[in-house]
Amino acid sequence: MMNSIAITLENFQQVIIEESKNQLVLVDFWAQQIPESTELRDKLTTALANHGDTILFATVDCETQGQIAQQFGIQGLPTAVLVKDGQPLDGLTGPQTDASINEFLAKYLPKEQDLLLVQAKDLLAEGNVAEAFPIISQAYQLDNERADIKLVLANVYIQTGKITEAELLLKSIKMIDQDSDYQSLIAKLELASQAADSPEIQALEQQLLNEPENVELQQKLAAQYSQVNRYEDALAILFRLVQNNGADIASKDLLLDVLKSLPDGDALASKYRRKLYTLMY
């Protein structure tokens, strides 16, 4: 990836006017006879080396491109101007420390939670809910007020059977942020709630009331719970069966299958893995 692009009269229109419509362009003005300006140029080159997708770094050699410097109204060096849609947005003037440069760029570079949000969305689009779970959870820990992060986390909650968590999260979304994505998740939550208490499950629960010691019925109910993402209910039944009979291989295998289906970092999975470990050792 090119770290910077030198601006000339020939590419001025393309970079400063057209490209700045697509992304921010930071234009650094420098001259070889002014060491402070070359120092700022080099520091900015390093700072933006891995952020070319967000900010295009452009440089103007004021010795050969004085007309461009005049067009920007540059009165002294070092100077850097941030451009958006062909217009100055912000800038730096005078010598800068690494800290001051980082502070300036932090206002415009994506935050860690932004990158995590994009990553989680991409994984969800590919159907990788388990992989998306720890990533969007981390984004939420970094910023638990942003509606866009909450909506993606609520979606993951619904798809992993955390109906109560999803409901609480959606209730925290402010009216102004209740867009079409929010309405879609409300509908998905309702469907998930209905599926979680299907007639098949209700019938098994009733049978189990009449035969509370029937192991096969308990296994069937646990499997049904798991299919509708009621993992905690499934794990509670299966762990109790394994706890009561260490030789019950079928229940143990079902328990392990449910644990494997939970995403990495899921607190429920960690809880039952610890319980199972304690039981075995």
**What does the pLDDT average to over 52-63?**
94
Does residue 192 contact residue 231 with C-beta atoms inside 8 Å? no
Average of per-residue pLDDT values in the chain: 92
Residue 50 has pLDDT above 80, yes or no: yes
> Tell me, what's the pLDDT at 281?
67
Sheet strands (E) in the chain: 5-6, 24-30, 55-61, 79-84, 87-93
Q: Which two tokens stand for residue 191?
A: 């469907």
CB burial string 195-209: b at 16+ within 10 A, e below: ebeeeebeebeeebe
For the entire predicted model, the pTM comes to 0.64
Q: Looking at 66-75, 188-197, 233-242, which range is the least confident one?
A: 188-197
Q: How confident is the model at residue 3 (pLDDT cuts 50, 70, 90)?
A: low
For residue 1, the model assigns a pLDDT of: 40
Q: How many CB atoms lie within 10 A of CB 86?
A: 13
Contact assessment for residue 276 and residue 255, using Cβ atoms and an 8 Å cutoff: yes
Fill in the amino acid letter for 35.
P
pLDDT at 29: 97
Dihedral of the CA atoms 41, 44, 50, 52 (nearest 10)?
A: -70
What one-character-per-residue DSSP string does 126-159 give? TT-HHHHHHHHHHHHHH-SS-HHHHHHHHHHHHH
34-38, 198-202, 239-243: least confidently modelled range: 198-202
* Mean per-residue pLDDT, 254-258: 92
Query: Mean of the pLDDT values across residues 65-83?
Result: 96
Q: Give the model confidence (pLDDT) of 156-183 as tens digits.
A: 999 888 888 999 999 999 999 999 999 9
Tokens standing for residue 146: 């942003």
What average pLDDT score do residues 91-119 get?
94
